[in-house]
Chain A
């Protein structure tokens, strides 16, 4: 896009997409803002007029607010840590030539195709069920008392389920990044006397920096809004209520659209804080 002319043409060509996107974003956003200033109780009188910032004050002063923010951040942080670390390990492993490579790779990607609701239910009923779950049998086999996963260790369980879903994504992105590494660089490092660990630390890991950044940013966007996994497993009990889940409860269980909308605005603010923080920390990897 070097010349004036091509720039204005480009702008015209992009206009429909930009307008559509803006509309797509602006309509729900305006509606959320609109309702957040109203007392709107669909089953208890409907629209009861403007209330100013009352919804905002009530949402934050609820005893569930700060725990929900904390839960959200713990889930995002935990899943990011697990998927990135295991993703790097798996990607390194899958990059090795081995028998049945194609099949193994497809198997590794498979969890990504399972719908969140389904995977939540599968984990809950087949693995984590304290009586008949796979883990319960495993624990009993070793003579231990089965853990009541979703009630006694609700957060680790949830992090585990969500990590399982997102690990394939991280692995896939990191694997393609590893495969794009010039083998001559590794050979040069080998000639230069770098041992396997040194090669990983000084050559492979810096090469992966950008891919890791992409994984972190994309996953964060989706992890901030996970819902189905919580809904089908703990339904928000045992301290697994995220901000998204809290909003859902306010709108649908308490039938308070105004309060939920105010929560929605807080969720937007939280997402932006996280985004700014992440871009500060890892964003510089995207330059150059």
Chain B
């Protein structure tokens, strides 16, 4: 049972401040996802929580107690690394048992816990192999197995799925979510993939340049992004962000409208445009429409059966209920 708090935590590498002071609270049992573009400091933040990196200033509190000076092994956290970091010379069994062995548990107990974890993760038949003889997904499961045998109070995942192919990624995503439901242990999960963030998180933390842009549930972030960065980052495909006369008409510097909130018609509508590239996903089709009024093409979602030929003229109507307005600093207007 773990509650994690960051108080004014900052991190600099030499002169470069990677994470300016920030506050964050993670409740017991929550699935928290850190998401942001590459290099925004997600891994660094996770490593600060793990204790693998010293904070430059501020405090990390675990269950209300200051853990800033506690070494990683004694924080009761388990981490799954992006490269899995399995021990190549040990069998899967010994890999999973390693933390138990380091903790000095007796043989029988080690065996019992390893077998249990292997059963949960479908690894039983691979226990005597070396990591080098496993597929990416299996290695990933071994890494998770090594984390769960310790019965940690919280899990830290650093982009655990980024080395897997798309299909496997979807499968592992479900498995991790399921693991969270079953163990109901706090999990902190780092990713740069907003789909993973949306599908798995109880709470999403959006980071940019080490600054927290917004914290909230996936739907909160989807419905009410606090600024244009979050608006553009959450949701797939990206929200259309428009400036100029049309934005001024809505008394804003920038307006945002998601592809799924624009109606498309061949006869009439608010904006006129020409069909560019269309992406057929089967269930949906995304059209890129070039409107003379806007600098960038608009992305519009339509039913998968709708077929519009390249270059034909169409009319678009935004759903005003789902129009987002932002001021000239990019902040949301209500």
B81 and A187 contacting across the interface, CB-CB below 8 Å: yes
Query: Which residues of A in the span 188-244 have a Cβ within 8 Å of any Cβ on B?
Result: 188-194, 198, 202-203, 206-207, 209
A207 and B52 contacting across the interface, CB-CB below 8 Å: no
What are 19 A-B contacts defined by CB distance under 8 Å?
A: A182-B85, A184-B81, A184-B82, A185-B86, A187-B52, A188-B79, A188-B87, A188-B146, A191-B50, A191-B52, A191-B73, A192-B98, A192-B102, A193-B73, A193-B102, A198-B102, A202-B98, A206-B89, A207-B89
Q: Does B306 contact A (CB under 8 A)?
A: no
The chain B residue with its CB closest to the CB of A207 is: B89
Q: Does B137 contact A (CB under 8 A)?
A: no
Contact mask for chain B residues 34-53; partner A; CB cutoff 8 A; 1 contact, 0 none: 00000000000000001010
Grouping DSSP codes into helix (H, G, I), strand (E, B) and loop, the A interface class, with mixed when no group exceeds half, is helix
A193 and B85 contacting across the interface, CB-CB below 8 Å: no
Contact surface of B with A, Cβ cutoff 8 Å: 50, 52, 71-73, 77-79, 81-83, 85-90, 98-99, 102-103, 132, 146, 150
Query: Nearest Cβ distance between residue A186 and chain B, in whole angstroms?
Result: 9
A190 and B73 contacting across the interface, CB-CB below 8 Å: yes
Q: Which residues of A contact B85 (CB under 8 A)?
A: 182, 184-185, 187-188
Provide the bound-state CA to CA distance between A93 and B73, in Å.
24
B83 and A189 contacting across the interface, CB-CB below 8 Å: no
B81 and A192 contacting across the interface, CB-CB below 8 Å: no
Query: Nearest Cβ distance between residue A6 and chain B, in whole angstroms?
Result: 27
Query: Which residues of A in the span 224-275 have a Cβ within 8 Å of any Cβ on B?
Result: none
Q: Which residues of A contact B78 (CB under 8 A)?
A: 191
Q: Which residues of B contact A192 (CB under 8 A)?
A: 73, 98-99, 102, 146, 150
B77 and A191 contacting across the interface, CB-CB below 8 Å: yes
Contact surface of A with B, Cβ cutoff 8 Å: 182, 184-185, 187-194, 198, 202-203, 206-207, 209, 288
Given A182-B85, A209-B89, list of 5 further CB < 8 A pairs? A184-B83, A184-B85, A185-B86, A191-B73, A206-B89
Q: Which residues of B contact A207 (CB under 8 A)?
A: 88-89
B73 and A185 contacting across the interface, CB-CB below 8 Å: no
B83 and A182 contacting across the interface, CB-CB below 8 Å: yes
Provide the bound-state CA to CA distance between A182 and B103, in Å.
23
Provide the bound-state CA to CA distance between A189 and B78, in Å.
11
Provide the bound-state CA to CA distance between A288 and B89, in Å.
10
Q: Which residues of B contact A209 (CB under 8 A)?
A: 89
A190 and B83 contacting across the interface, CB-CB below 8 Å: no
Q: Which residues of B contact A193 (CB under 8 A)?
A: 73, 99, 102-103
Q: Which residues of A contact B83 (CB under 8 A)?
A: 182, 184
The chain A residue with its CB closest to the CB of B143 is: A188
Query: Nearest Cβ distance between residue B89 and chain A, in whole angstroms?
Result: 4
Q: Which residues of B contact A202 (CB under 8 A)?
A: 87, 98
Q: Which residues of A contact B132 (CB under 8 A)?
A: 288
Q: Which residues of A contact B79 (CB under 8 A)?
A: 187-188, 191
